Every structure is written in C-alpha cells, then in structure tokens.
Amino acid sequence: MAKKLLSKDSMARIGILMENETISAKVKTAGEEGKDYAIYSVKDSGIVILGETRYPWWNQFIGCRFKLPFQSFVSAIWDALVDLSKGSNKEAIIKGLGREIMEKAQREKEYDWVIKRLQEVYDHFCNNKGGADLEGSQGKSGPSVVGVVHDNQPVNVNVNIDGRHHKTVRFPDATGEAFLECELGIVGVHTTVSK
C-alpha cells in the first residue's frame, strides 16, 4: 500500500485548482503523448490517474488510463500558473516557484506544502482574487493590514495598530526578491517616578 502523502485539505485544494480550465487542460495533457484524457482522479499517495473515458472502472478494465507521478502533476499545474500570470509575477513563478515546488515535492516529499503553495500563488497572482479579502479589513483592536496589488505594480500598504498608530509601507509585486517587512515599536510611553 502506498504511503499517504496528501491530506483531505490538499485534496480539496486540488479540486479547486482543477476547476480552472487552463490548469485542468495542462494536467490532462501531461499523460502519454498523443492521448486525450477525459477525467482525472488523485490518490492520497500523490499519484494522479488520467482516464481516456469518463468511467474510471472502464478505464481500469480496458487499460486506457495513465498514472501520472506527483512531480509531473505539480509541474503541469506550475506550467498553467505561468500561463495564467503576467509581468513580474510570471517571472517570479518561472524563476522561484518552479525550483521551490520541485525541491519540496521531489526531495522532501512535502506534498501538502506544495499543493498549498500552488493554490496560494493561483489565488493571489493568477486569477485576480488576491487582494479582495484584504480590502477594508481595518481593525480597531490589534494589528491589521490593508492593501491590494494591482497589475503587478507596487502599492502602499497601511499597517494600523489600535486604530491610532499606523505606518505606510511600499509593498512590491511578486518578484520573489522582497517581502513585506514591518517594524513595530513602542510609541508615546510616559513614565512617572513616585517617592
């Protein structure tokens, strides 16, 4: 029996990724050259079964299926993410994400980490959903971050603490070179000495 390397959460994430036509098409063409695959199924071992008909039992019975290794599966998703991105995001996915996911998938067998990372990249840099959840999330108690990246251009991000103190930080796009860095400190401390 194959070792379980994908959690239920990762299986759900794969389902979300495969809803995208570009990603689905890349995966379904990653099998045997010249074959057209109608369906896929993912095992918790990371193996992806591609089937030529829409009936898994028939694919198994007549041998019209292809077992795609996890590394080939994530390479196909990565390739689709490259196609779905543009500008410096595309460059970051090509240069950084490919190496990152292959190291985690091949050498470390961190399949859950790989799937989570692919979905994060898809959500934030490939389908224009990324900043929507951050917009307008200003809190009155505790730190919050508000900002949206538009068309690969840097934007200002306001970090608000307790509704009164804030710092504006220039947030770069996804080149992989720099991340958001904030320095928090104590502001307005008064001391009194009693006798």
pLDDT in tens, 81-98: 999 998 888 888 888 888
Residue 2 placed within a domain: no
**34-45 average pLDDT score:** 86
pLDDT at 79 over 90: yes
Domain of 68 in residue numbering reads as 8-126
CA distance 83 to 76: 11
Least confident of 43-57, 88-102, 155-169: 155-169
Of 94, 126, 158, the position where a domain reaches its end is 126
pLDDT at 67 over 70: yes
Residue 74 placed within a domain: yes
Of 88, 105, 126, the position where a domain reaches its end is 126
pLDDT of residue 1: 55
Residue 1 placed within a domain: no
Which residues make beta-bridge pairs with 160? 144, 166
Of 66, 93, 126, the position where a domain reaches its end is 126
pLDDT at 184 over 60: no
Contact call for residues 31 and 66 (beta carbons, < 8 A) = yes
Residue 3 placed within a domain: no
Give the global pTM: 0.63
Number of domains in the chain: 2
pLDDT at 188 over 80: no
Residue 36 placed within a domain: yes
Between these two residues, 121 and 183, which has the higher pLDDT value?
121
Q: Using the 8-state DSSP alphabet, how is residue 127 labeled?
A: S
CA distance 181 to 96: 20
